Amino acid sequence: MDVTEATFQTAVIERSKQLPVVVDFWAEWCGPCRQLGPVLEREVAQRAGKIELVKVDTDSNQQLAMAYRIQGIPAVKAFRDGVVAAEFVGAQPPQAVASFLDSLLPSEADGLVSAGDEQSLRRAVELEPSRADAALPLARMLLARGETDAAAKVLSAVAGSFAADGLLARLELTASGTPDLSDALSALDGGDAARAIDLLLEALTSAQDGARDRIRRLVVGVLDELGADSELARASRRRLAAALY
């Protein structure tokens, strides 16, 4: 399908919120474009219903070419959720195009995480042990049943997630029993994050080295889950820094 500046918003930006849209920026005079076009069309057709392909003639749609900084063609940009998720420039062999398209599709683990039940989450963790969005909800299910060792094992495989590390720190603090954070954890479980943070920061000031670091990790995890836009998180980060330094 040919897309113009007038239809780009609907055909690409809005449509990419439903499934990946691959945009082939090309021109009639471009030899490599004519080589790549049929490859793209064939590979997208083999993934029918999972990916859409559109073409933009850069000569006729120069504002689009400028907006997306097209400096050489063919230029292929894949959109997901309204933004460019992946791209390449120049004619590519079929195998490379196939790999590019496959990278845009949800993995088996993606579907399992979306399902969200325990069996699905367990399978997702088997497939991708370091995946935080599978490990965290599974660990919480295990923790709710008192299976702390199993929860800790799931969380220990996750790297780069403050939320997962914070929950793991909570398990370590609970196992040690020192200091007594029962009031803070009850507030946290009850949804009163502000009170929980107050109590945790208060405990941080008098905690010994090992416990001090675990409380810090727990607080950081709570703030991470609150999100960057949370005013409570922003204010609490400043208070945490003051308590530590």
Choice among 21, 23, 30, 56 that is catalytic: 30
Strands (E), 66-163: 75-80, 83-89
CA angle centred on 220, ends 214 and 225, rounded to 5°: 130
Which pair of structure tokens corresponds to residue 31?
């030899």
In which order are the strands placed within the sheet that holds 83-89?
Answer: 52-57, 21-26, 75-80, 83-89
Choice among 3, 33, 181, 197 that is catalytic: 33
Ramachandran bin of 4, using left for φ above 0, alpha for ψ from -120 to 50, beta for the remaining angles: beta
- Strands 52-57 and 75-80 come out as unpaired
* Residues contacting 207, CB < 8 A, separation 6+: 179, 215
- Strands 52-57 and 21-26 come out as parallel
> Does the annotation count 109 as an active-site position?
no
Alpha carbon dihedral 233, 238, 239, 244, in 10-degree steps, equals 120
- DSSP, collapsed to helix, strand or coil, labels residue 74 as coil
> Does the annotation count 11 as an active-site position?
no
Q: How many alpha carbons lie under 13 Å from residue 234 in its C-beta half-sphere?
A: 4
Residue type at 25? F
**Residues designated as active site:** 30, 33
